[in-house]
């Protein structure tokens, strides 16, 4: 038995927010004071570090569970299965449904239940639940689906990563330019076809690192102090990722028995282009191997950081031939990897 991704789908929102759209924003320091640099300089420095030119936001009438449903429909169609055959629906997100202008996350019922309802699945034996695992949530959902299938508890699982970070950011914080909205989904099932998931690795670093991403007040001191927004200690996250993600990827690859020379692509969570480039360089350095030029496809330039949706969306784009200069063929070995709030890290070695 081999456990493979048999169907992929994604939803990329239609609203494009370009870097120049932030030229008229009011950015403030943490203490509420005015940043001395003009916005054009702030945005230019932001682009140089993150690589982001633009990001996608969902329209106001949509919510996190809605776009997760859209991605799920496409994955089910791609896998050519009857949704009533699904044993589990696992939905990774971090903030639930957040209506425009609201100060609350809506998590009742869970997003997995909402998406199962939208899919009109009648089978009560199809268990729907959410996981909160930071940006690595979708990869962790795939790892959980594999575990269910390995133990005989399931044959087919639907794993969704969906997020609307545009609804939880502090618009007075420069970091808000990083975040975007999106959804990606995969059908994971047992097959006779060789390949699929070869190895996985997960870790949670919480002793000192748990609050590198957190909920905090707006930089605008005049706003309600009871309202919280997505915040991060960017430098600490950068250093943490560089020190830990390459080692986790190496552990995973070593478990798989695959040689570094056989890796065709690395699909890594995308929050910062410079950080991802440094991670991959360190990873190859661990093997004393040369870094291939085209090993790390990037979508961050146009899509920004959509948290749990970045990796499945990237994979779906490549599979459908929608990412220039990147393709995957049967038998190719890829690595999924992510790091995010918690602080969590995970990786999967996968043979297409």
pLDDT in tens, 251-296: 999 999 999 999 999 999 998 999 999 999 999 999 999 999 899 9
Whether 189 and 218 map to the same domain: the answer is no
List the domain range (segments joined by +) for residue 226. 198-351
| pLDDT (tens digit per residue) in 191-230 | 989 899 999 999 999 999 999 999 999 999 888 888 889 9
Whether 18 and 88 map to the same domain: the answer is yes
Whether 127 and 228 map to the same domain: the answer is no
What is the C-alpha separation between 83 and 117, in angstroms, rounded? Answer: 12
Q: Where a domain ends, among 173, 195, 217? A: 195
Whether 34 and 74 map to the same domain: the answer is yes
Give 189's contacts (C-beta < 8 A, 6+ positions apart). Answer: 3, 4, 6, 79, 81, 149, 155, 156, 157
- Residue 148 phi/psi, 5-degree rounding, is -60, -45
User: Sorting pLDDT into bands at 50, 70 and 90, what band is 77?
Assistant: very high
Domains identified in the chain, total number: 2
| pLDDT at residue 1, rounded to an integer | 83
Whether 70 and 98 map to the same domain: the answer is yes
* Percentage of residues of the chain with pLDDT beyond 70: 100
Question: Do 134 and 344 contact (CB within 8 A), yes or no?
Answer: yes
- Go through 217-242 and write b for each residue having 16 or more CB atoms within 10 A of its CB, e for each that does not: bbbeeeeeeeeebbbbebeebbebbe
Given a cut of 90, whether residue 325 has pLDDT beyond it is no
Nearest C-alpha neighbor of 173 from the set 107, 124, 218, 206: 218
Planar angle of CA 153, 158, 164, nearest 5 degrees: 135
User: Sorting pLDDT into bands at 50, 70 and 90, what band is 171?
Assistant: very high
Q: Where a domain ends, among 195, 216, 236? A: 195
pTM, to two decimals: 0.94
| pLDDT at residue 351, rounded to an integer | 97
Whether 147 and 283 map to the same domain: the answer is no
Specify the CATH number for the domain of residue 84.
3.40.47.10
**Tokens of residue 155, six digits:** 């044959």
Whether 189 and 206 map to the same domain: the answer is no
| pLDDT at residue 55, rounded to an integer | 96
What is the C-alpha separation between 70 and 58, in angstroms, rounded? Answer: 12
Given a cut of 80, whether residue 89 has pLDDT beyond it is yes
């Amino acid at each position: 038995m081999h456990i493979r991704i048999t169907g992929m789908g994604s939803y990329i929102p239609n609203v494009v927010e370009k870097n120049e759209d932030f030229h008229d924003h009011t950015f403030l320091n943490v203490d509420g004071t005015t940043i001395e640099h003009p916005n054009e300089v702030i945005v230019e420095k932001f682009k140089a570090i993150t690589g982001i030119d633009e990001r996608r936001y969902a329209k106001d009438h949509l919510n996190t569970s809605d776009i997760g449903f859209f991605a799920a429909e496409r994955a089910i169609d791609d896998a050519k299965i009857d949704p009533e055959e699904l044993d589990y629906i696992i939905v990774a997100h971090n903030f639930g449904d957040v209506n425009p202008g609201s100060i609350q996350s809506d998590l009742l019922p869970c997003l997995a239940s909402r998406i199962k309802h939208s899919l009109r699945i009648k089978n009560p034996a199809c268990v729907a639940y959410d996981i909160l695992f930071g940006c690595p949530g979708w990869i962790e959902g795939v790892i959980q689906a594999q575990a269910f299938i390995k133990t005989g508890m399931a044959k087919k699982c639907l794993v969704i990563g969906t997020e609307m970070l545009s609804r939880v950011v502090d618009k007075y914080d420069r970091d808000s330019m990083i975040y975007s909205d999106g959804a990606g989904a995969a059908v994971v099932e047992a097959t006779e076809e060789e390949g699929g998931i070869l190895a996985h690795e997960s870790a949670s670093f919480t002793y000192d690192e748990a609050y590198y991403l957190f909920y905090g007040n707006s930089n605008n001191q005049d706003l309600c102090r009871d309202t919280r927004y997505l915040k991060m200690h960017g430098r600490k996250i950068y250093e943490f990722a560089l020190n830990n993600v390459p080692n986790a990827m190496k552990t995973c690859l070593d478990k798989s028995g695959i040689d570094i020379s056989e890796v065709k692509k690395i699909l890594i969570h995308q929050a910062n282009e410079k950080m991802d480039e440094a991670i991959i360089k360190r990873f190859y350095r661990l093997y004393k191997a040369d870094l291939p030029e085209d090993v790390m496809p990037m979508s961050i330039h146009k899509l920004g950081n959509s948290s749990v949706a970045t990796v499945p969306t990237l994979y779906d784009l490549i599979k459908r031939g929608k990412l220039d200069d990147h393709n995957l063929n049967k038998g190719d070995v890829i690595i999924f990897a992510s790091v995010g709030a918690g602080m969590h890290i995970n990786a999967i070695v996968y043979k297409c």
